[in-house]
A and B are shown apart, each in its own frame.
Chain A
Amino acid sequence: MTDRFEAHDYYLMDELLTEEQKLFRDSLRAWLKKDVSPIIEDYYERAAFPSQIIPGLGEYGCFGPYIPTEYGGAGLDQITYGLLMQELERVDSGVRSTSSVQSSLVMYPIWKYGSEEQKQKFLPKLATGEFIGCFGLTEPDHGSDPGSMVTNFKDMGDHYLLNGAKMWISNSPIADVAVVWAKNEAGRIHGILVEKGMEGFTAPEMHGKHSLRASITGELIFDNVKVPKENLLPGRSGLGAPLSCLDSARYGIAWGAIGSAMDCYDSALKYAKERIQFGKPIASFQLIQKKLAEMVTEITKAQLLTFRLGQLREEGRATTAQISMAKRNNVDMALKIAREARQIHGAMGITSEYSIMRHMANLESVITYEGTHDIHLLITGMDVTGIQAFS
């Protein structure tokens, strides 16, 4: 599949970007078109993770680009991080997920809450992709309500003893390090770094996904795992610690979803202009134009929302609720655009000749993970009313 993608910059958003931001974005786009777009459909169909792209993801800045250079990152701003996530998800949500997890859910907590030794040991290798990380918060019986988790650790004097299980963990079967959230004996949530090979620690792959098939997902099972005490993240405890990581990841998802939507729109626009029915391109028909016009309108609105969120995040002012709004709006927007784009492509839209159906299936995960569509609405509801309606 030749990647013919062209970005339709309807509101001249590029004029808001620096030359360097555009260079990072365009370079990643060029690499993805060359090395990832041609193979992604095949890996998706086979439900296989294209692990050969990991060094490239590191090389083009997709692993913790905002981490300071002293720890192997690039010290980049939040808009650049967002643009990179947009480009990745433009190709595949699963590829973006791999990068989001590594960046926001593994490198971010180690950078923010880790000891100097932990930072030195893990961050440079995570930045290049030599190490892959995963993040264990969700449990089989605790998804939207992570505070009720049962995974726990006991202080055994010279080490901690970790027990429990995590589920729906992106990257887990191939991870060298897992950032695991577990309760201590007092019921307080802490982050613990569990390393591959620790006795009693397994990460079986989960199969049968109809979505994010080019990303690897698994469980984390802890059966009396002895974890050295220096593997506890010392900087922060409580549910706020993992939730702050989710803020970073959801911010990336808000950008990523725009990428999926841009790809579906671009493909639909091209198809509509090329596909002839009743003697003329289907783009001539009002109902097709309605779909395309609404798509570009929604994408443009999401771009403006997300760019402003990026400015706020760069200034350290973006709230969790603001991030929720962007994640929820943009993923929903992208999913609706994928469905409309599928219709414009007619029967071709269900085939692997086009990326549409893959984006649509992927987005069904994205609308659920990192806070479901409904939970994010309740976060906005709580923010504007001051009343919590979760429970």
Chain B
Amino acid sequence: MKILVAISKAPDTTSKISFTDGDTKFNEAGVQFIVNPYDEWYALVRALELKEANGGSVTTITVGGADADPIIRKALAIGADNAVRVDATPSDAYFVASQISEYAKDKEYDLVMTGKETIDYNGSQVGGLVAGMLDLPYLPNISKLDVAGTTATAEREIQGGEEVLETQLPLVLSASKGMAEQRIPNMRGIMAARAKKLEVIPAASGEALTEIIDYSLPPAKSAVKLIDPENAADLIELLHSEAKVI
């Protein structure tokens, strides 16, 4: 099986979020970056399991600058065979999807996998756009994936239950929690990653269709007001004048 996994860089979940340049840029100072967990824990690891069971290769693709190389090296240490970085700023989902599909279009991948979303912008668009651009079936939010021959069977959670989908390879899917267990790079993996190829290619033509105007943080949670049970009238007044619910 020939598998392409899209890997992106995301801020660690414990990062403190702030903005610069008049709230038009995310402030990266002091932020630790990680492999987007949905890309790493689920998509990449399941891809490696499928390769281990069926043979083949796993390539990762990332759209980003050299600052993304550490997370790509980690993916190689986890077990990907080789990596490609499209040397461009990942400005929006359409641009990223254009780059991935442009790279993948003539390489006959059996599977193109992404995480169901990247934990910074949570767009959930790249997988679907890539499928559309490559004219392949798209299975979103998949929590279980099996492949027998050229038939893929996938499960995903839906409202009130699970849905089982079956389709033929090649296809594009996005991975959600449950598809695989985390693999931590071990000593041999990190050493092996040294010799693996990280190919940097220029961006293909393509444009961003959206532009970020500004960022803002969600409003801070307001403090709880405690009202003495004997002062029910105060509570009613606050519900009316402040909460405006009655």
Give the interface of A toward B (CB within 8 A): 6, 19-20, 22-24, 27, 30-31, 34, 59-61, 65, 69, 74
Of the candidates B70, B74, B186, B191, the one whose C-beta lies within 8 Å of that of A60 is B186
Contact between A19 and B73, CB atoms less than 8 A apart: yes
Contact between A23 and B186, CB atoms less than 8 A apart: no
B73 partner residues in chain A, CB cutoff 8 A: 19-20, 23
Contact between A59 and B191, CB atoms less than 8 A apart: no
15 sampled A-B residue pairs with Cβ under 8 A: A19-B73, A20-B194, A23-B70, A23-B77, A23-B185, A27-B77, A27-B185, A31-B184, A34-B184, A59-B186, A59-B187, A60-B184, A60-B186, A61-B187, A74-B191
Classify the secondary structure of A's interface with B.
Answer: helix
- Closest CB in chain B relative to A387 CB, distance in Å: 45
**Given contacts A6-B14, A20-B190, are A27 and B184 in contact (CB under 8 A)?**
yes
B14 partner residues in chain A, CB cutoff 8 A: 6
6 new A-B contacts, CB < 8 A, other than A59-B186, A59-B187, are: A19-B70, A27-B77, A31-B184, A34-B182, A60-B184, A74-B191
A22 to B73, CA, bound (A): 11
Q: Number of residues in B with C-beta < 8 Å to the partner?
A: 15
Closest chain B residue to A19, Cβ basis: B70
- Closest CB in chain A relative to B23 CB, distance in Å: 25
B188 partner residues in chain A, CB cutoff 8 A: 59
Closest chain B residue to A12, Cβ basis: B30
Of the candidates A6, A34, A74, the one whose C-beta lies within 8 Å of that of B187 is A74
**Given contacts A27-B186, A59-B186, A60-B186, are A22 and B70 in contact (CB under 8 A)?**
yes
B191 partner residues in chain A, CB cutoff 8 A: 69, 74
Closest chain B residue to A69, Cβ basis: B191
Contact between B184 and A23, CB atoms less than 8 A apart: no
A27 partner residues in chain B, CB cutoff 8 A: 77, 184-186, 190
Contact between B187 and A65, CB atoms less than 8 A apart: yes
B182 partner residues in chain A, CB cutoff 8 A: 34
B110 partner residues in chain A, CB cutoff 8 A: none
The 3 closest A-B pairs by CB, nearest first: A61-B187, A59-B186, A19-B70
A69 partner residues in chain B, CB cutoff 8 A: 191
A60 partner residues in chain B, CB cutoff 8 A: 184, 186-187
A6 to B30, CA, bound (A): 13
- Closest CB in chain B relative to A102 CB, distance in Å: 14
A30 to B70, CA, bound (A): 16
Of the candidates A6, A19, A30, the one whose C-beta lies within 8 Å of that of B69 is A19
B185 partner residues in chain A, CB cutoff 8 A: 23, 27
1/0 contact string of B108-137 vs chain A (CB within 8 Å): 000000000000000000000000000000
B74 partner residues in chain A, CB cutoff 8 A: 23
A24 partner residues in chain B, CB cutoff 8 A: 187, 190
